Amino acid sequence: MSTKASVRRPFLATRMMASSLQYVGEVSSLFAQTLRALFRTEDPFPHMVSIGINTMPIALLTIAFSGMVLALYTARQMQEYGLGSFVGGLVAVTMTREMAPVLAAVVLAARAGSAIAAELGTMKVTEQIDALRSMATSPLRYLVVPRFIACVSMLPLLALFGMVVGTFGGYIVATTVGIANAAYLDSVRQFVTMGDVVNGMIKTVVFGAIIAMVACHQGLNTSGGASGVGAATTRSVVLCIIFVYAADFVIVRLFVAGPA
């Protein structure tokens, strides 16, 4: 029995690796096709509204409360060591570099990514995508590219507003636990640079591309009726969040933290 199990483990590992590589290849191929069709697409503005503007209240609320919690923890701890004047800079730098871009991407993946996968998945199982092909209409240009443009263009905007809202949320909490208004704001001005903001915005472009490609790929490859649409939607959200955090680590390691 132990011999069979020892033989099966490498086989299963090989199959998982092959499936992972195949998936990455399929998403990469879809991304390449999307880039080629980028300037021959339908109007992306309606998708920019549904993906970006309609997601903004949820994203900003999430980021604001995250900034409040961060300020609450750091203010109390740093006051014990006489470092209360650094709370504003800590909250603002954390927001601009990490929390606002990543949390905005997670909210976008949960709300818009799931909607994209469900919408395209429903069109796939009801053969509407096949109908588009029969009318000589490219599903890529008609369905994928506008959503890609919307995700890539609107996520930086969400993150930018999130940086401001998260820092302001931290300001509200910090000033209620003993941090002076001027000390908080001076710390923000001292420690936050334009490079921090630019780094955060660059991340969101990558995150937006990931969310759009993963969600569209899941939707276009849906099968199995209504249950298949539900499964594709769930996979889309899970994979988007995993890939966003993985991409965040890679970006920080390569371009911010630098090589070892």
Q: What is the pLDDT of residues 165-194, one digit of tens each?
A: 999 999 999 999 888 889 999 999 999 999
Query: What residue numbers bound the domain in which 198 lies?
Result: 42-256
Supply the pLDDT for residue 1: 46
| 24 found inside a domain | no
Tens of pLDDT, residue by residue over 73-121, are: 888 888 878 877 889 999 999 999 999 999 999 999 999 999 999 999 9
**Dihedral Cα 208, 150, 195, 246, nearest 10 deg:** 0
Whether residue 12 lies inside any domain: the answer is: no
Q: Are 232 and 202 contacting, i.e. CB atoms less than 8 angstroms apart? A: no
Dist. CA 150–CA 154, nearest whole Å: 6
The answer to whether residue 15 is domain-embedded is no
| Cβ contacts of 213 within 8 Å, gap of 6 or more | 27, 30, 31, 34, 148
- Is the pLDDT at 136 greater than 80? The verdict is no
Query: Looking at the domain assignment, is residue 173 inside a domain?
Result: yes
* Over residues 36-51, mean pLDDT: 85
pLDDT of residue 152: 95
Global confidence as pTM: 0.88
Q: Is residue 63, in this structure, part of any structural domain at all?
A: yes
- Domain presence at residue 8: no
Residue 170 inside a domain? The answer is yes
Residue at 22 is within a domain:
no
pLDDT at 148 over 90: yes
Tokens linked to 78: 């740093």
Angle, helices 194-220 vs 225-251, to 10°: value is 150
Q: Is the pLDDT of residue 211 over 90?
A: yes
Q: Which residue has the higher pLDDT, 46 or 14?
A: 46
Q: How many domains are there within the chain?
A: 1
Rg (CA), the chain: 22
